[in-house]
Amino acid sequence: EALVLEHNLIKQLKPRYNVMLKDAKSYPYIWITEERFPKLRLYRGDRNKPGAFFGPFPHVRAVHETIKQLQIAFGLRDCDDTTFQHRTRPCLKHQIGRCAAPCVGLISESAYREQVEAAKRFLRGEDETLLARWEAEMHQAAERLAFERAAILRDRIRALRTILETADDRALPPDADAFAVVRTETGAFVAIGMRRQARDLGSYVVRAQQSADASDAEVLEALFVDRYQREPLPAEIFIDGPDALAARLKRVVRLLGGGKRVRVHNPKRGEPFEWLARIRRSAEAMLAARRGKDLRPAFADLAEMLGLDAPPQTIAALDNAHMGGKWMVAGLAWLAADGPVKDLYRHFRLNKTRFAAGDDYAGMREVCARLAAEIESGRLPSPDLLLIDGGRGQLEAAMEAFARAGVAVRLVAAAKGKTRKAGEETLYLGWRHEALRPGARPGMLVLARVRDEAHRFAGRYLH
């Protein structure tokens, strides 16, 4: 009680030498409402409303991506009640396969309720039984020549596997938080990893203010009190630190737990140890990328993200720019672990007589053919990774141009998300068919940095 009281006074008085954590946000949850036709929503705040809550999630984007896949799999609505009650025909989300359209009676109340209960079971971690049942139904539908039903089940299975493939690790505890203090010349930070319902929800970093003279124990004590007064304690907490630090934090957890048994420990080996190490590496790489200095940790994270044998030494990025379809030019920017390599920057003015105005694919083929010629002649080195701005179509155009020139280059295309924020891109790789959505991790920030630099450099030619 004294510890909690002290923390509340610190928040009010803000003394110079106490630790203040910028972690006062309310964590996002997935909320399935309790009503005749329940909604699937992102929710922040006190969980005192009717319905089922699943989480917490460290990032809003993780909730949005999970909700998207759940809508594909279960067809649950997310519209407000007024819209729901006044619709006379299905909305666009039904047309793209993300809502069963209960608003206009395209699914019965009992069938919709079954889908709601299936979604809840999945979010509670009961996924294997559900997937096995759907796979059996899909094969049965195919045998009956009910191919439309089989295709619906196939898409549902893919949607759930998308969630599981990016967030599942059965070797780790199902309900756990992990903490590592990372110090830089600008202060102390805490890297936090979260697992709920046997799924890895990702990690993020919070900054400890007024912490220059604070020990790791003081930083984590302040964070624990602030965090676990607002959020429920997990079953296990992993600490990256010595035995004495773990023992000190056990006392804080006992005060906050209200009798709940929580295991607090600092693993020395095994999967929990590796999980902590990944969280620390990711935080260090992200902080290094933000400072714009040594990018080697971020390059290492990029290699892990893309499945490369070793981190790239150089990354090049191509971006095409134009004015109303005219004066088309491509910018080529380069990035190494110690920063931009401006001696290798190039502009390529594209010949608009060779293709129709606004034909991005033809423009990509031309600029890649010219870059291949520069590499083959020795005027430019071959990058370890070449990033192009666009989706699968632009990637295939680039691959075609380099194949014709007989130049081998490892290609990655980055398609921006709806909000066009770094970390929300979809990646298409030249050496594998499946797309990647890694989220906001250090490797993605590096790709965003070199892509934006190529865009800036290309635009400069036109102004």
- The model's pLDDT over 261-271, given as tens digits with 9 standing for 90+, comes to 999 999 998 99
Q: Which range marks the domain in which residue 262 is found?
A: 2-25+172-291
pLDDT-flagged residues of the chain (< 50): 13, 15-18, 23-24
Q: Are residues 37 and 150 in the same domain?
A: yes
Q: What's the pLDDT score for residue 201?
A: 78
Q: What's the pLDDT score for residue 29?
A: 86
Q: Are residues 306 and 353 in the same domain?
A: yes
Cβ 180 vs Cβ 276: under 8 Å: yes
Cβ 203 vs Cβ 279: under 8 Å: yes
Domain limit, last residue, from 167, 185, 214:
167
- Looking at the chain, the number of H-run helices and the number of E-run strands are 14, 16
Q: Are residues 156 and 177 in the same domain?
A: no
Q: How many residues does the chain have?
A: 463
Centroid of chain to Cα 387: 19
For the chain, what is the domain count?
3
Spatial neighbors of 445 by CB under 8 A, at least 6 apart, are: 286, 289, 290, 298, 422, 423
What whole-number distance in Å separates Cα of residue 463 and Cα of residue 460? 5
Spatial neighbors of 342 by CB under 8 A, at least 6 apart, are: 334
Q: Are residues 140 and 225 in the same domain?
A: no
* CATH for 337: 3.30.420.340
Q: Are residues 329 and 455 in the same domain?
A: yes
Residue 271 backbone dihedrals phi, psi, to 5 degrees:
-65, -40
What tokens appear for 159 in the block?
């949607």
Q: Are residues 105 and 193 in the same domain?
A: no
Q: What's the pLDDT score for residue 290?
A: 66
Q: Are residues 452 and 308 in the same domain?
A: yes
Q: Are residues 188 and 254 in the same domain?
A: yes
Angle at 391 between CA 69 and CA 307, to 5 degrees: 75
pTM of structure = 0.53
Q: What sign does the dihedral 114-115-120-122 (CA atoms) show?
A: positive
* CATH for 184: 3.30.420
Distances (CA, A) of 216 to 3, 26, 181: 17, 24, 6
Q: Are residues 141 and 200 in the same domain?
A: no
pLDDT (tens digit per residue) in 46-82: 788 899 988 777 777 777 877 888 888 888 999 999 9
Q: Are residues 394 and 256 in the same domain?
A: no
Q: Are residues 312 and 426 in the same domain?
A: yes
Domain limit, last residue, from 274, 291, 308:
291
What whole-number distance in Å separates Cα of residue 306 and Cα of residue 385? 11
What whole-number distance in Å separates Cα of residue 329 and Cα of residue 321? 5
Q: What's the pLDDT score for residue 17?
A: 44
Long-range contact set of residues 418-421: C-beta below 8 Å, sequence gap at least 24? none
Residue 381 backbone dihedrals phi, psi, to 5 degrees:
-75, 165
The DSSP annotation for 382-437 comes to PPSEEEEES-HHHHHHHHHHHHHHT----EEEEE--TT--TT-PEEEETT-SS-B-
